[in-house]
């Protein structure tokens, strides 16, 4: 059975209210429900976690490693572009991580073009709205 973890970083809790022209009108709850349904269709199980705090995200990655998930779908939001600490946490754990972004970060401000994390992730999916999460889940489920 596939056991996956969905993690979201800062401000993703405000989806549905926040910059809808960029991120769409769907909420974090909808993402969590839809991805849970998809994983369960494949006979797997999904746990979900969101935090606005870098340290909590790092702690959760460490704990996830103890729980031996098959994969982590992670939208690190703005920490993508800044966090060497999250990069080190991803490097430190055995669980593969797919970095996900709702928007196409490469079409946006230049500071969003760089990811501190992509080079230590299993893969990266950007720019497909809610389907970015779906595609990441499928990449693990079809593995
Ligand atoms: C984001 C892109 C980031 O640059 C931004 O800081 C976010 C959301 C995305 O999903 O498109 O908060 O990760």
Q: Please report, rounded to a whole number, the percentage of residues in the chain having pLDDT higher than 70.
A: 100
Q: Are 64 and 5 in contact (CB under 8 A)?
A: yes
Q: How far is the CA of 1 from the centre of ligand 1 (A)?
A: 30
Task: Tell me what the mean pLDDT of segment 10-39 comes to.
Answer: 97
CATH 3.40.50.10680 fits 3-141, yes or no: no
Q: What is the pLDDT of residues 88-143, one digit of tens each?
A: 999 999 999 999 999 999 999 999 999 999 999 999 999 999 999 999 999 999 98
23 is catalytic: yes
Q: Mean pLDDT throughout 53-69?
A: 97
Q: Can you name the residues that pair with 6 across neighbouring β-strands?
A: 48, 73
* 39 burial level (CB within 10 Å; 0-12, 13-18, 19+): buried
Q: How far apart are CA 127 and CA 6, in angstroms?
A: 17
Comparing C-alpha atoms, which of 81, 100, 90 is closest to residue 12? 100
Which residue has the least CA distance to atom 1 on ligand 1? 77
Phi then psi for residue 82, to 5 deg, are: -130, -25
Longest dimension (CA), the chain: 40
Nearest to 77 by CA among 24, 23, 30, 32: 23
Query: Is 101 one of the annotated active-site residues of the chain?
Result: yes
Minimal-distance CA residue to ligand 1 atom 6: 78
The rounded Å distance from CA 66 to ligand 1 centre is 27
Ligand 1 centroid, distance to 39 Cα (angstroms): 23
Does residue 1 carry a pLDDT above 90? no
In the set 60, 69, 79, 101, the catalytic residue is 101
Q: What does pTM read for this prediction? A: 0.98
């Amino acid at each position: 059975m596939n056991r996956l973890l969905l993690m979201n970083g800062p401000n993703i809790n405000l989806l549905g209210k926040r910059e809808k022209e960029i991120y769409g009108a769907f909420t974090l709850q909808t993402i969590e429900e839809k991805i849970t349904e998809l994983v369960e269709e494949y006979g797997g199980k999904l746990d979900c976690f969101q935090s606005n705090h870098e340290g909590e995200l790092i702690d959760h990655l460490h704990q996830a490693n103890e729980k031996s998930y098959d994969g982590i779908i992670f939208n690190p939001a703005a920490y993508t572009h800044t966090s060497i600490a999250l990069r080190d946490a991803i490097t430190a754990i055995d669980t593969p991580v797919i970095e996900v972004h709702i928007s196409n970060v490469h079409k946006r401000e230049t500071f969003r073009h760089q990811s501190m994390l992509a080079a230590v992730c299993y893969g990266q999916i950007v720019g497909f709205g809610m389907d970015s999460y779906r595609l990441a889940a499928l990449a693990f489920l079809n593995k």
